[in-house]
């Protein structure tokens, strides 16, 4: 097989010359359109294979004024964002679109991540739990459609979970197991944290457990979970159950409990949030509040395409119900 030089990609003209046909016929064959006979089609495909030619579909789309690219801004530190990105690929592919990813890292903020996608000529942005202020998101929507996933915000299309309901599910589950001293490790200013705090308080009040309400500063990471768990264990009457802002933080809580000689769930029950891939690991086996990843990502892609195509949108925010997934970190209260 003849290979193209490293510095020169084979062109449509090269394939036409090898097959002995016109460039227009090669173009028809490459687009799988009618107009070329079976033998011509076979000869063109054989020539393309020998030359290592692959049609540049992206260039063709750009010439038509389309890229069929959806930009995705995500946080590399969020385990749940990995699950969302995975499902977004499926939803985009099923709709005939591709994704361009841009990560937020400790050294790369959301503005830089977003700017990179704008330069890639994405037709819409899907932003996962963005920290960008609402007024800045509203400005961004004047440039292209923006769908915010997993955060409630005004000024953009939103697909999110009913986060407060998720904490109701967690507290109600623990209450049925006989727990009263139920603490909540908070997510600070992270997207969804305020609603989860509110849901925890509401559920504790509704269960007649207002006197046991305890919210401890936490965060997004394992380290945040270890710090919060140590503070709880240092108390004279530590909680018998803990709800945690997310699964990653919950893994830090579990580590401290186990290293401190506490049995889970016999001594302390733990409930995470997200049902990320971490929660499903066999050695974690975490009871958690699941966000419906597949529904949320399908809705996000569909909304982005609706905006691209100029469709009328009745409701800018879609709220998806959560579900409780019971695994091995919750059990009956013993004290």
* pLDDT tens-digit series, residues 58-79: 555 444 456 789 999 999 888 8
Cβ neighbours of 329 (radius 10 Å)? 24
Quick one: pLDDT at residue 185?
Answer: 98
Residue 303: is its pLDDT beyond 80?
yes
Q: Where along the chain do its domains lie?
A: 12-55, 66-161+293-319, 163-291
Instruction: Tell me the mean pLDDT in the region 129-146.
Output: 91
Quick one: pLDDT at residue 60?
Answer: 52
Which neighbouring-strand residues pair with 214?
Answer: 183
Exposure string (b/e) for 24-63, b if CB count within 10 Å is 16 or more? ebbbbbbeeeeebeeebbebbbebbeebebeeeeeeebee
Cβ neighbours of 241 (radius 10 Å)? 27
Quick one: pLDDT at residue 4?
Answer: 44
Strands (E), the chain: 69-75, 98-104, 124-128, 146-149, 157-161, 182-185, 214-216, 241-244, 269-274, 287-290, 317-320, 323-325
Exposure string (b/e) for 175-184, b if CB count within 10 Å is 16 or more? bebebbbbbb
Residue 227: is its pLDDT beyond 60?
yes
**Whether 330 contacts 174, CB under 8 Å:** yes
**Whether 125 contacts 71, CB under 8 Å:** yes
Give the span between the Cα atoms of 108 and 320, in whole angstroms. Answer: 30
* CA distances for 229 relative to 178, 200, 217, 311, 330, angstroms: 21, 18, 10, 48, 16
Quick one: pLDDT at residue 198?
Answer: 98
Quick one: pLDDT at residue 36?
Answer: 77
Residue 21: is its pLDDT beyond 70?
yes
Res. 27 pLDDT band, cuts 50 70 90: confident
Residue 26: is its pLDDT beyond 70?
yes
What backbone phi and psi angles, to 5 degrees, belong to 128? Answer: -90, 115
Q: Which fold has domain 66-161+293-319?
A: Rossmann fold (3.40.50)
Residue 174: is its pLDDT beyond 90?
yes
Mean pLDDT of the chain: 90
- Dump pLDDT digits (tens) for 186-215: 999 999 999 999 999 999 999 999 999 999
Q: Which has more confidence, 86 or 118?
A: 86
Please, what is the Cα angle at 169 between 164 and 172, to 5 degrees? 120
Please tell me if the domain spanning 12-55 has the same topology as the one spanning 66-161+293-319.
Answer: no
Q: For the structural domain made of 163-291, what CATH number should be given?
A: 3.40.50.2300
Whether the predicted model's global pTM rises above the 0.85 cut: no
**Whether 169 contacts 271, CB under 8 Å:** no
Quick one: pLDDT at residue 2?
Answer: 45
Residue 221: is its pLDDT beyond 50?
yes
Which neighbouring-strand residues pair with 177?
Answer: none
* CA distances for 201 relative to 171, 209, 210, angstroms: 9, 9, 8
Residue 6: is its pLDDT beyond 70?
no
Quick one: pLDDT at residue 11?
Answer: 82
Residue 5: is its pLDDT beyond 50?
no
CA atoms within 13 A on the CB side of 248: 16
**Considering the chain, what percentage of its residues have pLDDT values greater than 70?**
94
CATH architecture of 12-55: Orthogonal Bundle (1.10)
Res. 43 pLDDT band, cuts 50 70 90: confident
Direct distance between the N- and C-terminal alpha carbons of the chain, in angstroms, rounded to an integer: 75
Residue 332: is its pLDDT beyond 90?
yes
* CA distances for 200 relative to 69, 210, 243, 308, angstroms: 39, 10, 8, 38
CA atoms within 13 A on the CB side of 115: 5
Query: How far is Cα of residue 116 from the mean position of the Cα atoms in its chain?
Result: 19
Quick one: pLDDT at residue 1?
Answer: 43
């Amino acid at each position: 097989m003849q290979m193209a030089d490293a510095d020169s990609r084979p062109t449509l003209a090269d394939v036409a010359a090898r097959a002995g046909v016109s460039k227009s016929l090669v173009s028809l064959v490459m687009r799988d359109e009618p107009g070329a006979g079976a033998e011509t089609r076979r000869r063109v495909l054989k020539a393309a294979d020998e030359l290592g030619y692959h049609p540049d579909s992206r260039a063709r789309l750009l010439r038509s004024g389309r890229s069929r690219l959806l930009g995705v801004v995500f946080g590399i530190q969020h385990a749940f964002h990995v699950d969302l990105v995975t499902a977004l690929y499926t939803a985009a592919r099923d709709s005939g679109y591709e994704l361009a990813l841009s990560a937020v890292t400790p050294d790369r903020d959301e503005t830089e991540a977003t700017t990179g996608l704008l330069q890639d000529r994405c037709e819409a942005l899907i932003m996962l739990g963005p920290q960008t202020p609402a007024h800045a998101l509203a400005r961004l929507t004047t440039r292209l459609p923006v769908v915010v996933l997993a955060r409630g915000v005004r000024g953009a299309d939103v697909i999110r979970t009913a986060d407060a309901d998720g904490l109701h599910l967690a507290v109600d589950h623990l209450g049925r197991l006989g727990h009263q001293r139920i603490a909540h490790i908070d997510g600070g200013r992270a997207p969804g944290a305020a609603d989860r705090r509110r849901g925890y308080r509401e559920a504790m009040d509704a269960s007649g457990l207002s006197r046991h309400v305890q919210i401890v500063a936490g965060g997004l990471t394992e380290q945040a979970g270890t710090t919060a768990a140590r503070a709880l264990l240092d108390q004279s009457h530590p909680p018998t159950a803990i709800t945690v802002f997310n699964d990653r933080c919950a893994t830090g809580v579990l580590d401290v409990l186990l290293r401190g000689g506490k049995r889970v769930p016999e001594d302390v029950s733990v409930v995470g949030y997200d049902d990320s891939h971490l929660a499903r690991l066999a050695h974690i086996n975490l009871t958690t509040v699941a966000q419906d990843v597949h529904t949320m990502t399908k809705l996000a892609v569909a909304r982005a395409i609706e905006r691209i195509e100029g469709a009328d949108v009745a409701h800018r925010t879609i709220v998806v119900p959560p579900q409780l997934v019971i695994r091995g970190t919750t059990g009956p209260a013993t004290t």
